[in-house]
Structure 1
Amino acid sequence: MKNNKTISSQNQIPWKKRLQYNFDNFMSKGGMSVFLALVSAFFTAFLLMTLLRTSFEKLFPNDYINDSSELLWEVFVELIGLRDTGDEANFAAKTAGIITIFVGLVLFSSLVAFITQEFEAKLLALRKGKSPVVEANHTLILGFSDRIIDIIQELVVANESESDAVVVILSQESKEEMDDFLRNNLGEIKTTRVVTRNGSITSLNDLKKVGVEVAKSAIVLNEAKGSDPEAVKTLADARVVKSILAVVAANGEENLPQIVAELHSQQYRRLAENIVPGAVTTLNEADILGRILVQTSRSAGLATVYLNLVGFEGNEFYFYRANSGWHSVTFRELPFHFSNGIPLGVRHADGTLTIKPSQDYKLADDDEAIILAEDDSTIDFNPNPVVEPQNIGYLDYGPTLEPKIEKYLVLGWNSKARIALREYAAYLTKGSQVDLAVNELSEEIQSEFDKIAKAYPDIKMEAKEIDVNSIKQLKSLNPHEYTSISILASTGENAEEIDAKTLTILLEMRQIFRDYAAETGKPVFTDLIAEIIDSQETDLVIKAGVKDFVLTNQFVSKILAQVSQEPDVMSIYRDLFSADGSELYIKPISLYFPVELIGKLTFADCVLAAQHRNEVCLGVRISAHATDKDKNFGIDLVPRMNKRLNLTFSDALITLADDQT
């Protein structure tokens, strides 16, 4: 029951004001209300003008008006301004016609103007990317960063077998800016369509507009770079976790797409993975690249191998189960039952993975083999061996590499430095040395370094402060004495600026090596390892004399794209990138074959020889092509088993092994 005072107050408001208020509320609802008001006004005017003209016709009739339908038509066409009353009409009809035309001019032009305005507003909304997406089974990318191009390029390769694949991007960037960036940088996208929308990645409404409820997978990008301050990365991580929560809220836990997220903090990774266990996969750029950096520096060429392993271009990992069972085949026998593809391990029925199991392990029928192959369509298990190694005496040939003292230098400091230092210390033989050289040796860096050094007392470790832009101070490090030097990316506004600083140091190092060789007559065998942000800089890096390089955006982007389509692949990467268990190595061919057999080998022989050392051979490295980009820098992964290899004694096998010996 209303308050009497309220009723009394409402009664005191003049009806004109109340009517105006109600009309204003109705019109403020937007497009449809305005349209209905204009149409109503138009037909009201039509009714009034018809009554006026009918009255005039009764008082002052016109001979050419024969019935009421002709009168209605004449009023209507006058109202919309198509014609006047004509010369044969009398004065009364002309007067009514003038009034009708004037009223119609105001109303009809207002209606046309409104329709034009709404059309322009719709176009503006489309340009702003606010309209809903009507797609299903698409890949949803939340956020927009420098790595977006590499991710989409990977998804384009993955979607080649589909006739109409869709990638939808939701970001707070404007749609026009995103479209322009993609148009200028993406290139051919084949059967994949890319749809961009503007909005918040943490908004339920915006997520529903881009079809999160029917998406196949969601990739959540982190807006913070590895070189950003910790406070910036923490805030960006929190936003990523909030976005994951929004995806869960929009879908419910039972209907979630596979979610892949990039997070810097271990704490936030744990929180994200525990939101819905098994549905969220996280990765940390620094964690992966720090380990790759160490492995690459200890075995030149591994960066190219890893680039061929991650993503969809080249070779990739598949989980394969034989339709007719495994026929009690052992892991030693398994490779020779495939024409294409190399088994690396087994995924058991309980979901656990074993990389490089025992050679005598017999595969159970519910096991899945982890196969490295160019395409899953080429994988076909034959119950009988499809190729037999020659076994021409090399199985009795078994030299080993003696562990050697190594010396490494990490130049620069970023989020990967502490990981790289720990990995070096874990890998190296007692008595080896790992040094750190930075522009500014702050208390925080010194404290982090001292903790690592204390944890590995058998490894010599020293931190130094130098000006990395000074050739004189770089020379004082005696860089020619190191096994390899890893140059970490510094800070900068963008990838171009960061890479420019890295390339400058590379050129200075190259000049130092040249000067040393000219002065002493001794060659320099130090490998240069560089962290390059922009993958387009590879040609410049090669010309700068780098033995190997780490492409930050490309590595992480490829992994994000692949894990979004096959989440279990992340377990394989974690195993391969870890210092524990088996890792990838590029080992000289002299460890496997005597010199007289080198030119007589098939790839099956390489696989068998590696098995004799309890290793898995993935391919070969041709040293003559080590700097040839068109020939994949000499890396030939997973050739056909019966392929005859034209190898020399300077070439190497790419193997999965327990150590470098």
Structure 2
Amino acid sequence: MARRAFPSRSRIRYGFDNLMAHGTPVLIGWLSLVCLAIVLPASVALVWADREAPRTASGRVAAVWVSVGRTLRLGGEVGPPLYVLMSVLLALVALLFVSALVSLITTGLNERLMALRLGRSVVLEKRHTVLLGWSDQVFPVLTELVAANANQRRAAVAVLADRDKVEMETEISGHVGGTGNTRVICRSGPTTDPAILARVNPEEARAVLVLPPGGPGGDAQVVKTLLALDAAGRPSGDRVVVAAVRDPRHHLAATLAAGRSGHVLGIDDIVARLLVQTSRQPGLSLVYQELLDFAGDEFYVVPAASLTGRTFGEALGAFATSSVVGLVRADGGHALNPPPGARIGEGDRLVVITEDDDTAVPAGTALPVDEEAIVTARPRTPATERLLLLGWNRRAPLIIEQLEQYVRAGSTLDVVALGGTATAHAVRATAAGPGRLRVGFHSGDITEQRTLARLDVPSYDSVMVIGDESPPVDEDTETDDRTLVTLLHLRAIEEAGGRELSVVTELTDDRNRLLAPVRKGADFIVSGRLISLLMTQISENRHLAGLFDELFTAEGSEIHLKPACDYVLSGRDVTFATVVEAARRRGECAIGYRLRAGASTGPAYGVRVNPDKRGAVRFGAGDCVIVVAEG
């Protein structure tokens, strides 16, 4: 067999690799030989080229030694052999000491820089906000925290996740941008280790948010993180802990792990409730968007000292630029839309909708109310409804349960999804037993036009499109992608029939909302963003937790869009204070309105929350008043 020939370059590299493998002593020896092989000939050339060099051979040899010694930092001393030997020895000792010192300093700096890069140093901030975990919700939460801290001189948010620190900082910079007065600090490590949690100093934090990671096992990760947070140590102040889980079955475990200072949001429950509420009240998602982010007006809890002893009904008209919606009692209890005759006690506080926590200032004078413009609403008999649910996922049973609590007996719901027998059994199991809602199932792919064509979609009072998790035709297609295709077909049906459909859509990624082929001002429930907004609001004010619990249930008070003609005369200029008074007489809190004429014009799409009560507005057909009311 012929011997394989290797090129010279490969042989040299192979020899160099073998040389490096011999260890440090051999490397030092070879390095010394290479240095001498370069420095010695160069020094000889320099001496022989120097016109002022000694003429004798011994003199030139001494000059060469001086040049070599100075180049290699050996001093280059001349004289008796013992003197030269000792000078070289001292020079070598000095060189060894300096080299070792430089090496130690370099190693220490590298270790420190690596520790900083890995995010292992301890955060020393106090009264900061801590985010535990990493998901797409990090970015809307940080965006809202930056907006909430805009009027704070120094604010800090510490993020702990099992990711590279530099990668986290890069992604945050790309998604959030400038953070203004808020400093964002990233630390790396598992959130389920109490020792690692100490890196973000949770004991000194004013709020801790535990973000639900995506994928299977996310709820278990949240529960373990809450347990680790409890094991990490007791908080030094009035810290609030906010977490979220997806599956309702894990809500109780997470609540127990969060402790008394914790509040756990059930993602699937809240999304299902808001989908149902919005399907029956178009435009409601726009109202919640305005109330939950920090860009405009939102909920605050403010002192009510100036109104002590007065009734809640009187407090409704006491503020010109803030809308009163509830009470927080001195003992910590809360009441959303309490009876108008409820007395405000010592130490009670008001729940208001206002621009900021320092803008809730009583007007001082009576607000203008036009008594002649107030009307008495005629009772309306609720009608049966035909509803359409396109898609099936783990939230679908919750949606059906919620609809049971809202609709009139005799209403129908048709479910269309893939999955055949398995999905049909799931639908029937959910709707089993006597109820006010009759549920039917149709097997079909909601992304196909022929499936929707068989349904007579315009005949339905409301259409809900949810992320279809039944077995897809193409497994590589994302849930939101299928939803967008379904919306394309619904838009074609709208254009063909010349009728506007009442559609509410569930999305998982807020970026896809901009791609949705629907009319402007359409209703979207983006689950990740919605939960992010709720978590941020509660982290900024713990008293809002109970308020949100009531808003998203069928019991108690919630937000409604009701015909404006039930409150004031149409076609007549009235102050919003008049609308507030008309709502008060019905046991409701008016917080804004939606004008039909602006329903397709952004960015508000006709929604006006917390208008100045002294300003005038004229309502017409199709306009609505936004109220907090029961039922």
SS at match of 1:376: coil
Query: Does the aligned pair in 1 maintain the 2:311–2:340 contact within 8 Å?
Result: yes
**Aligned match of 1:656:** 628
Matched with 2:509 is: 534
Alignment partners' CA distance in 2, 1:381 and 1:279: 32
Cα deviations by residue, 1:96-117 (Å, 9 ceiling, x for unpaired): 2223333444443243234323
Corresponding residue for 2:390? Answer: 411
d(CA) in 2 for partners of 1:570, 1:446: 37
| Match of residue 178 from structure 2 | 188
What is the letter of the counterpart of residue 433 of structure 1? T
The equivalences for 1:95-494 within 5 A come to 95-224=85-214, 228=215, 232=216, 235-252=217-234, 257-275=239-257, 277-326=259-308, 328-381=309-362, 385-395=365-375, 397-443=376-422, 445-490=423-468
Distance 1:130 1:569 in 2: 34
| Partners of 2:410 and 2:437 within 8 A in 1 | yes
1:65 matched residue in structure 2: none
- What is the CA deviation profile of residues 501-527 of structure 1, one whole-angstrom value per residue up to 9, with x for unaligned ones? 211110012113333x2xxxxx32421
Cα shift at 1:587 = 1.8
The worse-fitting range, judged by mean Cα deviation, of 553-562 and 254-263 is 254-263
Deviation (angstroms), 1:403: 1.1
1:304-359 Cα deviation digits (max 9, x unpaired): 10111224332222223322452x32222221111221111222233222222222
- The count of aligned residue pairs is 560
* Percent of residue pairs identical: 27
Q: Does 1:555 align with 2:530?
A: yes
Q: Give, in whole Å, the separation in 1 of the partners of 2:477 and 2:135.
A: 14
SS at match of 1:154: helix
| Cα separation, 2, equivalents of 1:538 and 1:470 | 21
**Amino acid in structure 1 at the alignment position of 2:623:** D
Separation in 2 of the partners of 1:495 and 1:466? 19
Matched with 2:11 is none
**Structure 1 position 276, deviation (Å):** 6.1
Alignment CA distance shift 1:256-1:399 (3 Å): closer
How large is the RMSD of aligned CA atoms in angstroms?
2.6
Match of 2:568 among 593, 613, 617: 593
Can you give the 5+ residue segments of structure 2 that lack an aligned partner in the other structure? 1-68
Q: Deviation at 1:143?
A: 0.5
Distance 1:358 1:464, change over 3 A: same
Whole-Å separation in 2 of the counterparts to 1:256 and 1:348: 18
Offset at residue 642 of structure 1 (A): 0.4
> Cα distance 1:238–1:208, how it changes in 2: closer, same or farther (>3 A)?
same
Alpha-carbon shift at residue 173 of structure 1 (Å): 1.1
- Hey, what's the Cα distance between the residues in 2 that align with 1:371 and 1:174? 41
Instruction: Give the TM-score, by structure 1 length.
Output: 0.79
Judge which range, 557-566 or 356-365, deviates more. 356-365
Q: Assess if the C-alpha contact under 8 Å between 2:241 and 2:258 holds in 1.
A: no
In structure 2, C-alpha distance between the alignment counterparts of 1:118 and 1:131, rounded to whole Å? 15
Q: Is the alpha carbon distance of 1:94 and 1:548 closer, same or farther for their aligned partners in structure 2, counting shifts above 3 Å?
A: same
**2:582 equivalent to 1:609:** yes
Indicate the SS of the match to 2:605. helix
8 Å CA contact 1:576–1:583 kept in 2: the answer is yes
Contact 1:330 1:360 in 2 (8 A): yes
| Paired AA for residue 270 in structure 2 | I
Q: Which of 571, 577, 580 pairs up with 2:552?
A: 577
- In structure 2, the partner of 1:633 is 605
AA aligned opposite 1:421: I
Q: State the 1:563 CA deviation.
A: 1.0
Structure 2 counterpart of 1:62: none
Give the Cα separation in 2 of the matches to 1:419 and 1:268: 15
How many angstroms apart in 1 are the aligned matches of 2:428 and 2:442? 12
Provide the C-alpha distance between the structure 2 equivalents of 1:311 and 1:456, rounded to a whole number of angstroms: 40
1:45 aligns with none
- Contact in 2 for aligned 1:80/1:101 (Cα 8 Å): no
**1:102–1:486 distance in 2 versus 1, CA, 3 Å:** same
Letter in 1 for 2:251: R
8 A Cα contact 2:447 2:483, kept in partner:
no
Assess, with a 3 A threshold, how the Cα gap between structure 1 residues 393 and 474 changes in structure 2: closer, same or farther. Answer: closer
How far apart, CA to CA, are the structure 2 residues paired with 1:494 and 1:122? 46
Which residue, 489, 493, 501 being the options, matches 1:512? 493
The answer (yes or no) to whether the contact 1:79–1:105 under 8 Å persists in 2 is no
